[in-house]
C-alpha cells in the first residue's frame, strides 16, 4: 500500500491513540492524556533530568543520576479503532506523513502559544508534533496543553514531553507558558542499539525541563502535526484564529531530506481545517484553523 493511501486510512479510520469519549464520560479509573483516557495506575512523571529505557519486557525509569527509580511492564495494546466524534474528543485535525525508507533522524517545527479560548467549559486542547512507530502502539511528542490532564493543568497553557507505550504513560513535569510564546518542538533519533532498537530524544528546545530520552524503543515512522481536543462544545471553546506550524523540517538519519506529500485530516463540519501552505520536508508550513 502506498504511504499516502496508508496514512489517509490510518487518519480517517484508526486514529491512533484517539479515544471517542467526551470528558464528562471518562471512566473514574482512567485519566486524560494526549493519547486519550488511559489507566490512572500506569501514569508516571519522569524525574527532572530523568530518562526511560526499554529493557526486555519492561520500561525502566531513571533519575538524573542514572539510578532506576521504577520499572513498568511494557505490554503493547491494540491500535484504537473508534472514530473521533467531532467537537467531543480525539484527533480532529492533523497533517501526517508515513516513512517507509531510511529512518527519520529528526522532526522539528515551530509554533506560537494561541490565545486562551473565549469560553471555559472544562475542555482540554493538545497541540503537538509527534512520531509513532509503524505498529502505532507508542507515541513520542512535545505537547502544548490547555485545560486539565493527568499532568495537571487548568485555564492556562503549559508544555511537557510525553511518551506513551502500550498502556504506559510517561511525561515530564509541565512548564506553564504564555500566550504568544514561541515553541520549538523536536523528536530526534540520538542513537541505535542491539536488536534493531532506536534511541530518541524529544523536547521543546527553547524551554528547560522538557527533555525526555527513551532508549531501546521501536523505530518511529509516522510523523504528525496535530490538534487533539476533549470536552469542547463549540467554536468559542477553541482558541480564535489558527495555529501555524512553520519551519517544519523532517530530516532522515543519513542527512537527506525526503520528498514529502503531507496527508491531512480536518473537521469541516465544525469549521476546523488543516492546510498545507508549503509542502515538503524543509521549511514546510502547515496551518490548523479553528
Q: How far is C-alpha 84 from the geometric centre of its chain's CA atoms?
A: 16
SS3 216: strand
- Tens of pLDDT, residues 182-237: 999 999 999 999 889 999 999 999 999 999 999 999 999 999 999 999 999 999 99
Q: Residue 84: pLDDT above 60?
A: no
Strands (E) in 151-196, as ranges, are 152-165, 168-171, 175-177, 182-193
Confidence label for 20 from pLDDT (cuts 50, 70 and 90): very low
pLDDT > 90 in the chain, percent: 80
Mean pLDDT of 45-61: 96
Of 175, 288, 173, the closest CA to residue 224 belongs to 288
Quote the Cα angle for 124-211-64, to 5°: 120
Confidence label for 77 from pLDDT (cuts 50, 70 and 90): low
Look at residue 76 in the predicted model and tell me its pLDDT: 67
Residue with cell 486519550: 36
Let me know if 28 is exposed, middle or buried by CB neighbors in 10 A (0-12, 13-18, 19+).
Answer: exposed
Whole-model pTM? 0.89
Q: Residue 5: pLDDT above 70?
A: no
DSSP H stretches of helix in the chain: 3-9
Whether the CB-CB separation of 198 and 156 falls below 8 Å is answered with no
- Tens of pLDDT, residues 91-143: 999 999 999 999 999 999 999 999 999 999 999 999 999 999 999 999 999 99
- Tens of pLDDT, residues 252-272: 999 999 999 999 999 988 899
Amino acid at each position: 500500500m502506498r504511504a499516502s493511501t496508508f496514512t489517509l486510512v490510518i487518519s480517517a479510520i484508526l486514529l491512533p491513540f484517539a479515544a471517542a469519549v467526551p470528558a464528562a464520560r471518562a471512566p473514574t479509573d482512567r485519566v486524560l492524556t494526549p493519547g486519550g483516557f488511559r489507566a490512572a495506575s500506569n501514569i508516571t512523571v519522569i524525574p527532572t533530568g530523568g530518562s526511560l529505557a526499554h529493557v526486555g519486557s519492561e520500561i525502566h525509569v531513571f533519575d538524573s543520576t542514572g539510578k532506576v527509580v521504577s520499572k513498568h511492564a511494557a505490554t503493547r495494546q491494540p491500535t484504537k479503532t473508534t472514530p473521533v466524534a467531532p467537537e467531543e474528543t480525539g484527533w480532529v485535525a492533523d497533517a501526517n506523513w508515513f516513512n517507509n525508507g531510511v529512518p527519520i533522524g529528526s522532526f522539528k517545527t515551530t509554533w506560537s502559544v494561541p490565545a486562551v479560548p473565549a469560553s471555559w467549559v472544562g475542555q482540554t486542547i493538545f497541540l503537538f508534533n509527534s512520531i509513532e512507530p509503524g505498529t502505532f502502539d507508542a507515541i513520542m511528542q512535545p505537547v502544548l496543553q490547555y485545560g486539565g490532564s493527568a499532568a495537571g493543568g487548568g485555564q492556562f497553557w503549559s508544555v511537557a514531553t510525553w511518551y506513551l507505550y502500550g498502556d504506559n504513560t510517561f511525561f515530564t513535569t509541565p512548564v506553564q507558558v504564555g500566550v504568544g510564546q514561541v515553541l520549538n518542538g523536536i523528536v530526534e533519533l540520538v542513537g541505535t542499539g542491539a536488536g534493531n532498537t532506536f534511541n530518541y530524544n524529544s523536547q521543546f528546545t527553547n524551554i528547560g525541563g522538557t527533555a525526555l530520552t527513551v532508549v531501546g524503543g521501536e523505530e518511529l515512522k509516522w510523523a504528525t502535526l496535530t490538534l487533539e481536543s476533549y470536552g469542547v462544545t463549540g467554536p468559542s471553546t477553541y482558541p480564535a484564529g489558527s495555529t501555524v506550524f512553520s519551519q517544519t523540517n523532517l530530516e532522515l538519519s543519513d542527512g537527506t531530506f525526503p520528498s514529502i506529500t503531507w496527508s491531512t485530516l480536518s473537521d469541516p463540519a465544525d469549521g476546523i481545517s488543516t492546510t498545507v501552505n508549503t509542502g515538503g520536508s524543509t521549511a514546510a508550513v502547515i496551518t490548523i484553523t479553528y
